[in-house]
Amino acid sequence: MNYVDGFVVAVPAANQEAYRQMAAEAAPLFKEFGALRVVECWGDDVPEGEVTDFRGAVKATADEVVVFSWIEYPSKEVRDAANQKMMSDPRMQAFADRMPFDGQRMIFGGFTTLLDE
C-alpha cells in the first residue's frame, strides 16, 4: 500500500492563484523525487466545530481558506528519500522565499494506508 504525506494550511483567500501556481510548479518536482500523485484541495465547505476543526488546527483567520493536500508515494522509504532530496534541492528551497501562506501554521504528517478502494 502507498504512503501518504498529508498537509493542512490556511491561505489568504486573496492568494488563491499564487498558491495554485506554487503548487503547480512544485508538483512535478515531488514526482521527480518519487511521488505518485500530488493533490491540492481549496476549502469549500469547512465548518467550524464545537470542540475542534480544520480552521482551528491551523489558526485560520476570517480572510483565510483552509487548504487540504496530500502526496502519495509508493512507500515510506521512497517518501523519506524524497524528503532528503527536497532539503538539498535549490528549486525546492526557492519556494520558501515566496510561500503565499504562513508556513508556521501548517500541520502535516506521514500516514500508512489502511484502506484504498
Domain count, the chain: 1
CA 53 to chain centroid, in Å, comes to 17
Q: Output the pTM of the full model.
A: 0.92
> Dihedral, CA atoms, 72, 78, 79, 85, nearest 10 degrees?
-120
d(CA 44, CA 116): 24
Per-residue pLDDT of the chain (117 residues; tens, 9 = 90+): 899 999 999 999 999 999 999 999 999 999 999 999 999 999 999 999 999 999 999 999 999 999 999 999 999 999 999 999 998 999 988 887 889 999 999 999 999 999 999
Question: Which domain CATH number covers 11?
Answer: 3.30.70.100
117 in any annotated domain: no
Cell numbers for 12, please give them.
489568504
Domain that holds residue 108: 3-112
Q: CA–CA distance from 77 to each of 33, 65, 84, 112 (Å)?
A: 12, 32, 11, 12
